[in-house]
């Protein structure tokens, strides 16, 4: 039922008129955690982990719950949310490649920081300097995520 609602709503906003082609038109535009629960396009409420998808052919934006994106559209939003939860619980933990590439695409971190992070993220032992830089990037990521959320839900 939820799947039917979601595919119908996504198809209505797509250029293609068959699901398998239509879902390929969508890219991850932005993810955010809402303070006020949102309703997914599938009708499910409440949704805290939101994904704003952008249609590459017509520019339409659609806000979909993370669970639906994971199940039906197959974009890597869930991996980013998992990394965020891990780092929020313990800031010495690592983000993952998806989160780092998401941050770099949006200009939150520069190319050097991206390379650095990908190099050190699986290492258990870091120098004090490396560890401080990693925490700095973690902190920046969490802060930016909150700011995106504030921008999308102005009330
Ligand atoms: Zn949904």
Sequential pLDDT tens for the chain (155 residues): 567 899 999 999 999 999 999 999 999 999 988 888 888 989 999 999 999 999 999 999 999 999 899 888 888 899 999 999 999 999 899 999 999 999 999 999 999 999 999 999 999 899 999 999 999 999 999 988 876 655 555 43
Structural domain including 147 reads 79-152
User: Domain boundary at 49, 75, 101, which?
Assistant: 75
| Helix axes of 97-105 and 128-152: crossing angle, nearest 10 degrees | 60
Q: 152 C-alpha vs ligand 1 centroid, how far in Å?
A: 18
Question: Could you tell me the pTM of the whole model?
Answer: 0.83
Q: 117 C-alpha vs ligand 1 centroid, how far in Å?
A: 32
Q: 80 C-alpha vs ligand 1 centroid, how far in Å?
A: 17
Closest C-alpha among 110, 100, 98 to residue 141: 100
The reply to whether 98 and 136 lie within a common domain is yes
Q: 92 C-alpha vs ligand 1 centroid, how far in Å?
A: 32
The reply to whether 90 and 27 lie within a common domain is no
User: Domain boundary at 52, 75, 98, which?
Assistant: 75
Q: How many domains does the chain have?
A: 2
The reply to whether 8 and 51 lie within a common domain is yes
């Amino acid at each position: 039922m939820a799947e039917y609602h979601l595919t119908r709503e996504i198809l209505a906003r797509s250029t293609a008129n068959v699901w398998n082609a239509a879902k390929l038109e969508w890219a991850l535009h932005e993810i955010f955690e809402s303070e006020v629960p949102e309703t997914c396009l599938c009708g499910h409420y409440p949704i805290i982990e939101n994904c704003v998808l952008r249609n590459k052919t017509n520019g339409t934006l659609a806000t979909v719950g993370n669970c639906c994106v994971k199940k039906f559209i197959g974009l890597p939003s869930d991996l980013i949310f998992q990394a965020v939860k891990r780092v929020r619980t313990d800031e010495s933990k690592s983000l993952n490649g998806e989160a780092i590439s998401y941050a770099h695409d949006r200009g939150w971190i520069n190319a050097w920081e991206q390379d650095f992070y990908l190099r050190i993220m699986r290492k258990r032992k870091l120098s004090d300097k490396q560890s401080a830089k990693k925490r700095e990037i973690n902190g920046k990521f969490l802060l930016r995520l909150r700011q995106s959320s504030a921008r999308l839900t102005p009330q």
